[in-house]
Amino acid sequence: MALERLGFDDWFIQKSAELKNPDGNHARVTAVDRDSYLIHNGTAEIRAELAGNLLYNIESSIDLPGVGDWVNVQYYDGENFAIIHEVFPRKSLLRRKTSGRSVDYQVIAANVDTACILQSCDANFNIHRLERYLVMAVDGRVRPVLVFTKKDLAGREDLARIESDVRKAGIEYPSLFISSRLDDGVDALKSIMAPGNTFCLLGSSGVGKTTLLNRLIGHNAFDTQEVREFDGKGRHTTTRRQLTVLDWGAMLIDTPGMRELGTIGMGDGIDGSFAEAADLAGECRFADCSHTKEDGCALLAALEDGRLSRERYESYLNLKAESDFHEMSYAEKRKKDKDFGKYIKTVKKQLRK
Ligand SMILES: Nc1nc2c(ncn2[C@@H]2O[C@H](COP(=O)(O)OP(=O)(O)OP(=O)(O)O)[C@@H](O)[C@H]2O)c(=O)[nH]1
Ligand SMILES: [Mg+2]
Ligand SMILES: [Zn+2]
């Protein structure tokens, strides 16, 4: 299998010129499990680890290779093992705030063309969660597709409610209702999964990401587990991010279900997925309008005359506030890290004198 079949196109060929070693061995990261990696070079999947130098020079966990990244590697042990030396620039990136109080990003997957955002029709459907996933995708330059799973567990009214909630929220991305159990709607998804393109499954634990992957593979290649009886939540069965090349040539990344979906510094993603609200915000009289009380606020005017729904207005402001707040702390943290780096360098220099 040539590298092109794994998605290495003109864009990456061009970007390779920016690397420290443009002529290195290129490969794609296919699995990440803490500090151990798998890479594919078109011929074989090989175990890999990070070069000490790469680890030493990163400023943030976002700079670490993630599943889907293109990397430069050096082979050892007769091509049975590789060391990752460099990460290619990314065409697109799904990332999220690391969980807990730290303000940093974590790579979910890189160089993804389409994100399949899964919610199950029975219990998991939540319009605000959906909005967060959309922000994440749009912010990362990834095309979203909404996939509503476990159609077999939902009644006609449930499906109608989901459709109308999505419409009311002004969400216009393509959507599919499927049942992996009954193999219903899976072909429709398959038909949009073009060879050479990379897809990523996103969604809470238990919505049926891995079950869908197994369906597309044709057998139960990966573990799945019943959701919990008492609250219908998943059991966090999948623990590593993994890229599978499907037999018709499309690639699909399965991910562990996410507990938290913080949006730091995702202003672009928010403006992209709330385009009409963002356009209105551009028309406010004051550039620093808070859209809550000012005269000449275009958002408030649109809210008043019904062009913008209250739900949409509130989601937009909430996500913006969260994103801006974290952006500020993130910028501060980066600056501190940088200052600290400079300080270490000066100390080292002085020691050498
Ligand atoms: N009724 C029904 N159950 C399904 C369907 N798809 C998946 N399930 C069940 O939902 C449960 C959870 O599925 P998984 O595929 O493990 O969920 P996941 O999203 O991969 O979860 P994590 O790996 O924990 O993130 C399993 O018991 C599946 O059999 C479906 O279409 N219909
Ligand atoms: Mg899973
Ligand atoms: Zn305003």
- Domain boundaries defined on the chain: 3-87, 93-254, 267-347
What is the second-level CATH architecture of the domain 267-347? Orthogonal Bundle (1.10)
Which ligand 1 atom sits closest to the C-alpha of 180?
Answer: 31
Which residues does ligand 1 sit against, CB inside 6 Å?
A: 149-150, 152-153, 179-181, 205-211, 224-227, 234-238, 256-257
Place of tokens 């390779």: 16
Which residues lie across from 199 on neighbouring strands?
114, 252
Asked whether residue 353 carries a pLDDT value surpassing 60, the answer given is: no
- Among 28-32, 145-149, 182-186, 227-231, whose mean pLDDT is lowest? 227-231
- Per residue in 65-105, pLDDT (tens digit) is 999 999 999 999 888 999 999 999 999 999 987 766 666 78
> Quick one: average pLDDT of 142-151?
96
Residue type, 333: K
SS3 string, 189-227, reads HHHHCCCCCEEEEECCCCCCHHHHHHHHHCCCCCCCCCC
- Among 10, 11, 95, 41, CA closest to 245: 41
Superfamily of domain 93-254: P-loop containing nucleotide triphosphate hydrolases (3.40.50.300)
Q: What is the mean pLDDT of the chain?
A: 89
pLDDT value at residue 348 = 60
- Among 53-62, 93-102, 205-214, whose mean pLDDT is lowest? 93-102
pLDDT band at 228 (very low <50, low <70, confident <90, very high): confident
pLDDT value at residue 347 = 58
pLDDT value at residue 338 = 64
pLDDT band at 106 (very low <50, low <70, confident <90, very high): confident
CATH, range 3-87: 2.40.50.140
Pocket probe mutation, ligand 1, options 224, 238, 254, max atoms within 8 Å of Cβ: 224
How far apart (Å, rounded) are the C-alpha atoms in residues 32 and 137? 20
Place of tokens 């303000």: 103
